[in-house]
Each structure stands twice: as C-alpha cells, then as structure tokens.
Structure 1
C-alpha cells in the first residue's frame, strides 16, 4: 500500500497522468495540484525534523 506523504504524492501524480491521457483535464489538474502540495508539505516537514 501507499505509505507516507511521498507515496500519496506519487499516487496522485500517476492518477493525474492517467486522467490526462483519458482526456479528463479537470480531474488531472486537481490530482496534480494535490500531488504538488503533498510534496511541498513533505519537504517542509523534513526540513523541520532535521532542524529539531
């Protein structure tokens, strides 16, 4: 299964690619946006955990 933020981001990225290929650009855009924010959140939390 999908574990952690990076796994979820990869899952949403793959979903975005599939929906883009199928022509559902609205759903693909939303999935890509969610993946982008999950990666940003992961990076921020990783930096905070390294600093503490």
Structure 2
C-alpha cells in the first residue's frame, strides 16, 4: 500500500482526537479504576468495533 509520508500521522491524530471525545460510560463500558487520559483507550475502541489490536 502506497501512502504519502504525512498520512499516517494525520490519521493517528484524527483517531486520537475522536477517542478523546468519548468516555467509557458514554458507550456502555465500565469506568476503569485508573485512567491517565480522558477518553477511550485503543483497546476499548477495538472491543466496540469487534476487532482486535493485532
């Protein structure tokens, strides 16, 4: 797959900004005991999407 050099960073920033807008409680997941940042973790997004992080 041929990608432009900045494309991966653009996608990474886009997805991170969207994850930061939601809390686990908003999407029906339990709030964990300790969170370093607000928003959903990658693992939580994968669970919601039915995908693996693989």
So what's the TM-score if we normalise by structure 1?
0.38
Taking CA–CA contacts closer than 8 Å with sequence separation of 6 or more, which of the two structures ends up with the larger relative contact order?
1
So what's the TM-score if we normalise by structure 2?
0.36
